[in-house]
Amino acid sequence: FFDRARIWVQAGDGGNGCVAFRREKDKPKMGPAGGNGGRGGSIHLVCDEGLNMLKQEVHFRATGGQNGMGKARHGESGGDVRVPPGTVVRQDEDDALVGEVLRHGDSMRVARGGRGGRGNAAFKTARDTTPRLAEQGEPGGQRWLKLELKLLADVGLVGVPNAGKSSLLAAATNAKPKIAPYAFTTVTPNLGAARPSLQASLVLADIPGLLEGAHEGKGLGRAFLRHIERCRLLLHVVDGTRPDPLGDF
């Protein structure tokens, strides 16, 4: 289960402008015709509800824009980086928030493709009808980013270790979490979907067992407490057969 990632994104460079002149039979000099270079491909993060963890890939690069010819040519798409709902994006160097993708289909551009250079057709003037000047394309944006996943669930199951959260998740949903009679069987969050009716569905998240002082790093708390931030409802699971169920609560 990967809920943190550090990735390098590099957009494509813009294509160079072209120096060219129109030529037709019996008309060798018909003015400049060099096209602009295409913009380099950008890189977007796209929210995909079919994912529930981040990928291990590290480097994402987009293609550069094509160089200008008789007309402008554009760079290809950089290829989307698909991430699960609830992904928080921060700059690596200063931890500044870049944005979040929360709903399926949400898209965020994280590296902009470089602008294509102008061809010589763009530099034609009344005083210079045959310019031999063209621009080079601009470099594409590039940077390191930190991704952090905060699970989106309707119901978060919380409680002390071995309280029966995984058993409840397995009984109420189609999930098949590991279940065993010892503490910290669940060491990563588990998700399951329940259908209380044909028109509605609920996503349940089984959060690893929490101990008193979890916010200070005790047990597995600090690593997974953030996953309950966006749960619409928290269901505290208590084992009534334990010696002190009220104390567990």
Backbone φ and ψ for 122, nearest 5 degrees, come out as -75, -15
Class of the 1-149 domain? mainly beta
Which residues lie below 8 Å from residue 31, measured CB to CB, with a gap of 6+?
21, 22, 121, 124, 129, 130
- Where does 155-248 sit in CATH, by number? 3.40.50.300
**DSSP code of 92?**
T
pLDDT of residue 159: 84
pLDDT of residue 47: 93
pLDDT of residue 205: 86
At 168, the amino acid letter reads L
Rounded Cα gap, residues 3 and 147, in angstroms? 8
Closest CA to 86 of 107, 103, 109: 103
Burial 216-236 (b: 16+ CB within 10 A, else e): eeebbbebbbebbebbeeeee
Instruction: Measure CA 241 to chain center.
Output: 43
Q: Using alpha carbons only, what angle is made at residue 222 by residues 83 and 7, rounded to the nearest 5 degrees? A: 30
Rounded Cα gap, residues 208 and 236, in angstroms? 12
| Sheet of 87-91, strands arranged across | 59-61, 4-10, 142-149, 87-91, 97-101
What number of H helices and E strands is found in the chain?
A: 3, 12
For 11, the 3-state DSSP assignment is coil
> Are the CB atoms for 214 and 205 separated by under 8 Å?
no
**DSSP code of 244?**
-
Q: What is the DSSP string of 133-176?
A: --PPPPPPPEEEEEEEE----SEEEE-STTSSHHHHHHHHSS--
For 223, the 3-state DSSP assignment is helix
Greatest alpha-carbon span in the chain: 102
> Are the CB atoms for 156 and 234 separated by under 8 Å?
yes
Residue spans per domain, the chain: 1-149, 155-248
The series of mean pLDDT values per 10 residues for the chain, 249 residues long, is 84 89 73 86 90 79 78 58 90 92 92 91 88 91 91 84 85 81 70 76 81 54 70 87 74
